[in-house]
Amino acid sequence: MTAKDTVLNIMRAQGRADALVLRSRAGQMDGTALIREEDKIPAFDPSKDYTSWPIGAPVTDGGQVWTLLQPYNAAYYPQRPVELRSLWGLAHTRDPARAKPWVAPLGTSGVYSAGECCTDPESEDPAAVWRSRVDNNAFSPSQYEANWEKVEVD
């Protein structure tokens, strides 16, 4: 085994350990806190058995952070989290520097609360960051700008 292999193995082990610790804390964290630690969140695996994962455990998929609402075996339901909104919730952040692209809510899953931020790929300036002015906001900034305010990112 080379020195490079040894270092990579140590880094992988630390990454797994970080992900497990985050998974155990995730149920008590809001979207802002989860997205702040996004580098520790594992990618969604459509063949993984999530039945032993706690509710609130996060995964990343499609540039978003998703939280487990109902443990299940993804091998039986291989759709992505965006397609399984009854099983996965969408995390939003209040940190404009970490804003994610807007994703359409499904029912009450994924609606924005006042203060939560996003970018809008459909807006005139897709890189602009928007902050929701209202709770239960189901509209993107380009759909209903009155619910949003443009935010300067430091």
Q: What is the pLDDT of residue 10?
A: 47
Whether the per-residue pLDDT at 95 is higher than 50: the answer is yes
Strand (E) positions, the chain? Answer: 58-61, 64-68, 88-90, 100-101, 117-119, 129-132, 148-151
Q: What is the pLDDT of residue 26?
A: 59
Res. 7 pLDDT band, cuts 50 70 90: very low
Q: What is the pLDDT of residues 100-141, one digit of tens each?
A: 999 999 887 889 999 999 999 998 898 999 999 999 999 999
Average model confidence (pLDDT) for the chain? 87
